[in-house]
A and B are shown apart, each in its own frame.
Chain A
Amino acid sequence: MTSAARSVFWFRTKRLTGALLVVWLCVNLLVPWFARDLDAVQAYGFPLGYWLAAEGSLLVYLLIIAVYVVAMDRLEARCLADEDAAAGATDRVPP
């Protein structure tokens, strides 16, 4: 990878990681903090605060990792394809 391509790649990786961590932290702080208030609402038979802590948050964690896996695969593939194309354009043979 050229150094320009690297800095673009790393910037995007950090942005993705940061955004997902913000989601993660929001879930972790807001669900317990407002659990008592959320319990006033019923979610298919469960008090909402309890359900979010026992099941909802866990589903969000799974979703965060799923998004990360897909997004990172795409990001890496795109950066490598760009590099490949650049290498092809200058007709360099990879080692």
Chain B
Amino acid sequence: MTRTGLAASAADSAASDSRLARRLGWRYALFLLSFGALIALMALAEKFGLQRSWIGASFLVVTVAAYAFIGFLCRTSNEVDYFVAGRRVPALFNGLATAADWMSAASFIGTAGVLYLQGFAGLAYILGWTGGYCLLALLLAPYLRRFGQYTVPDFLQARYGGRLPRLIGAGAVVAVSFVYVVVQIYGVGLITSHLTGFGFELGIFVGLGGVLVCSFLGGMRAVTWTQVAQYLVLIVAYLVPLVWLSVKQTGSVMPLMTYGTQLVQIAKREAELAVDPAERDVVLKLRERATVADHKLQDVRSAMVADDAQRLQRVAELRSDNAPLSQIQRAEREIAQRPRTEAQATLAYQRERDSATARAQPLAGMAPQTLPFATGDPAGDAASKKRFDAARINFIALMLCLMMGTAAMPHVLTRYYTTISAPQARRSVGWSLLFITLLYMAAPALAVLVKFEVLQHLVGMPIDHLPQWVSRWSRLDPNLVSVNDVNGDGILQLGELLLGGDVIVLAAPEIGGLPYWVTCLVAAGGLAAALSTADGLLLTIANALSHDIYFRDIHPNATAASRVIGSKVLVMAIALLAALIAALKITDILQFVSAAFSLAAAAFFPALVLGIFWRRASRWGAVAGMLAGLAVSAGYMATNLPLLRTLLGVTWPLADCQWFGVDAIASGVFGVPIGVAVMVLVSVVTAGPSEEQRRLIDRMRFPVLNEH
């Protein structure tokens, strides 16, 4: 082809790309408009007295049906469409899809909750989950796009040769993504049951239907275009309650610029509550409870007998005093639900002791909202100084670990294979970060506005007149919301209110006294966040298993069509497996999410970055580096996480297992540098890359004509 011919065809394809982008723009504008119409319709319906369960169900059914419809329209069995959406996704839309892919149930539901409970310390998540995109843009995305192909293990195979790097990579992809997908499906179950009143298990399977329609029918192509729609839903659902609360509290429509005033109010109120006599009384009473529970644990059997007698006596007293029926019923329910065996009773007393100890702190054990590293004080005594430094180091360690994990998450890396070119991949990371930042800047603001509402209005209310959401949520799950009049004065103290992190966002509209349709809107947004991430993850796992393992090692001569079918079958199987595990409702699941970040960082970050930027990096270096990074991260978690310690029977004292006082949650911060060091050492003493691999490095590094 002559040079003018090349230029003409490039201009042609650029024109068709911009036509495509315009057409997509119109379609999504239409989608957004219809979504607005749905919201308006529901708001009206509520005014005219439509039943609450109908409003919730409408939001659920209509949004999931819309995703399924888009998925159905984009159904495909073409290989390039299925694995990388035809590589024709414009940067802006890939940014939107990545943002939805990235922001999971944990981001949507959990982040504001963590900020509400932990204050400044929670900002480590905000920084980690956004700052990682700089690493992605500068070190990985454009290079991987120039490499082409379909998956991260593909890259490891091509760059390092041999089977081992690819197999280790595929194994790590599956492990990391599977942990993460279970959490998403758990989120789907929580939201569906909250929105419709279905049981948790049924909720999981209803939500799963929505996930499967997309990834099953249309692979990456369908997932990409539904994710764009899901981003629009989730961001509207997050910003509506935030702006509304802000207008209610301060009259400002720009909460991100003005919530500082509420921050100052909260600090003032926190100082008041810290010296409030009633709050102090609650703390003392809770400490007493913890001591009593501890005594009961010394002799569980006689404590059970004494407790039973006391409960019976209380019912008799209430009856003879002619107390209100509800009080008598509550006392009788306590008898019906009392622990019956010694093991049950031991567990119950332990729980009582632990929860009372945790809550017998000023501000119910919550950190102050703004003060950084409040556990210590740099101007205080030596112990206090040490705690301050430990908190500061842990903040930075967790932040860096999440950043490297973000840049190495396989389901996000795959997204940049779908753009048109490497320059478009760079832009696309920028768009992704912009859309992600919008939600992550809103999360601290929402946490602050909700806290203001709780501290200013809820605390100090008579317990008999608490708003309805308190009883509704505590019926749903008493571990999420519960109220207990510890000092018996009939007034709610902060120390008497348990508000779990997972309800802060979902219940924010109710806490702020907004109409019920806003609650449903938020739930629909949470569902969009969980579904979009689950879709991306399922596809990544299925591709690793089918594309990277089965069809390379076991059945290499398969046709393109059967590869796609194989991947589809796997998507189905993995989704069912993940749903079964999620239905077990394993607690402490968030620990596993952070573990996934550490493992992803340790497994991929050194091998990917050095593979691009260091010519000498060799196959055995990569293998040793990946294994060493994984081993250090996993080992650090095994010796430091309480859950894994008991499971594996680790007996070394915890203090000896900690390095520099860093928590297990940030173990990747050790895994990555050790992985790099091992990789460099082994690479230097083993044979360097082959001629073909050197050409690949050049192809990734240098632009070609007409790429733009």
Contact at A35–B705, with CB atoms within 8 Å?
no
* B359 is an interface residue with CB less than 8 A from chain A: no
Chain B minimum-CB-distance residue to A24: B134
Q: Is B396 a contact of A53 with CB atoms below 8 Å?
A: no
Would A62 and B430 be within 8 Å (CB), given that A28-B399, A94-B6 are in contact?
A: yes
Interface of B is mostly: helix
Within 8 A of B (CB), among A44-68: 44-47, 49-51, 53-55, 57-58, 61-62, 64-66, 68
A57 & B263 in contact (Cβ 8 Å cutoff): no
Q: Is the CB of A58 within 8 A of B441?
A: yes
Q: Does B197 contact A (CB under 8 A)?
A: no
Q: B31-72 vs A: 1/0 string, CB under 8 Å?
A: 000000000000000000000000000000000000000000
Chain B residues lying within 8 Å of A28, measured Cβ to Cβ, are: 127, 131, 396, 399-400, 403
Residue of B nearest to A36 (CB): B372
For the complex, what is the distance from the CA of A29 to the CA of B124, rounded to whole Å?
Answer: 12
Q: How far is the CA of A64 from the CA of B403 in the complex (A)?
A: 15
Least Cβ distance of B132 to chain A in Å?
Answer: 9
Whether B372 pairs with A61 at a CB distance below 8 angstroms is: no
Chain A residue with minimal CB distance to B701? Answer: A10
Given contact pairs A28-B399, A32-B392, A69-B427, enumerate 19 new A-B contacts (beta carbons under 8 Å): A6-B701, A6-B702, A24-B131, A29-B396, A36-B378, A36-B388, A39-B371, A50-B263, A53-B372, A54-B441, A55-B256, A57-B131, A61-B131, A61-B133, A61-B437, A69-B137, A69-B423, A93-B2, A94-B705
Which residues of chain B have C-beta atoms less than 8 A from A10's C-beta?
701-702
Of all chain B residues, the one with the shortest Cβ separation from A21 is B138
Could you tell me the distance between the alpha carbons of A43 and B258 in the complex, rounded to whole angstroms?
A: 11
C-alpha spacing A24/B135, complex, angstroms: 9
Given contacts A54-B441, A58-B437, are A72 and B423 in contact (CB under 8 A)?
Answer: yes
- CB pair B130–A69 under 8 Å, yes or no, is no
CB-nearest residue of chain B to A13: B701
Least Cβ distance of B256 to chain A in Å? 7
Q: Does B361 contact A (CB under 8 A)?
A: no
Interface residues of B (CB under 8 A from A): 2-3, 6, 120, 123-124, 126-127, 130-131, 133-135, 137-139, 142, 256-258, 260-261, 263-264, 370-373, 378, 388, 392, 395-396, 399-400, 403, 423, 426-427, 429-430, 433-434, 437, 440-441, 444, 613, 698, 701-703, 705, 707-708
Interchain CB contact (< 8 A) of B126 among A1, A54, A94: A54
Once the chains are docked, how many angstroms separate the CA of A20 from the CA of B6? 35
A55 touches B131 (CB 8 A): no
Residues of chain B within 8 A of A85, CB atoms compared: none
Known A54-B441, A57-B131: A65·B430 in contact at CB below 8 Å: yes
A69 touches B396 (CB 8 A): no
B138, B388, B440 pick with most chain A CB within 10 angstroms: B138
| Chain B nearest Cβ from A41, distance in angstroms | 12
Chain B residue at minimum C-beta to C-beta distance from A35: B372
Closest to A87 in B: B3
- Name the A residues within 8 Å of B133 (CB-CB): 61, 65
| Closest residue of A by beta carbon distance from B432 | A65
4 smallest CB-CB distances across A and B, nearest first, come from A45-B260, A46-B260, A35-B372, A76-B703
With CB as the reference atom, state the residue of chain A lying closest to B395: A32
Kindly list chain B residues whose C-beta atoms are within 8 Å of the C-beta of A35: 120, 372-373
A69–B396 alpha-carbon span in the complex (Å): 27
A residues less than 8 Å from B264 (CB atoms): 45
User: Which residues of B lie under 8 Å from residue A27 when comparing CB positions?
Assistant: 131
Kindly provide the distance from the CB of B11 to the nearest chain A CB, expressed in whole angstroms. Answer: 16
Report the contact-size class of chain A (Cβ under 8 Å from the partner).
35 or more
Residues of A within 8 A of B373 (CB): 35-36
Closest to A66 in B: B430
Q: Offer 22 A-B interface pairs, CB within 8 angstroms, sorted by A.
A: A10-B702, A13-B701, A21-B138, A28-B131, A29-B396, A32-B399, A33-B392, A39-B370, A39-B372, A44-B257, A47-B263, A49-B372, A50-B372, A53-B126, A61-B433, A62-B434, A65-B426, A69-B426, A72-B423, A73-B423, A76-B423, A76-B703
Binding site for B on A (CB under 8 A): 1, 6, 9-10, 13-14, 17, 20-21, 24, 27-29, 32-33, 35-36, 39, 43-47, 49-51, 53-55, 57-58, 61-62, 64-66, 68-69, 72-73, 76-77, 79-80, 84, 93-94
Q: Taking A35-B373, A53-B127 as contacts, is the C-beta distance between A84 and B423 under 8 angstroms?
A: no
Asked if A54 contacts B134 (CB within 8 A), the reply is no
Instruction: Decide: A32 and B437 in contact? CB cutoff 8 A.
Output: no
Shortest A64–chain B CB gap in Å is 5
Contact A76 B707 (CB under 8 A): yes
The smallest beta-carbon distance between A34 and chain B, in angstroms, is 9
Chain A residues, CB < 8 A from B702:
1, 6, 9-10
Expressed in whole angstroms, the minimum distance between the Cβ of B301 and any Cβ of chain A is 51
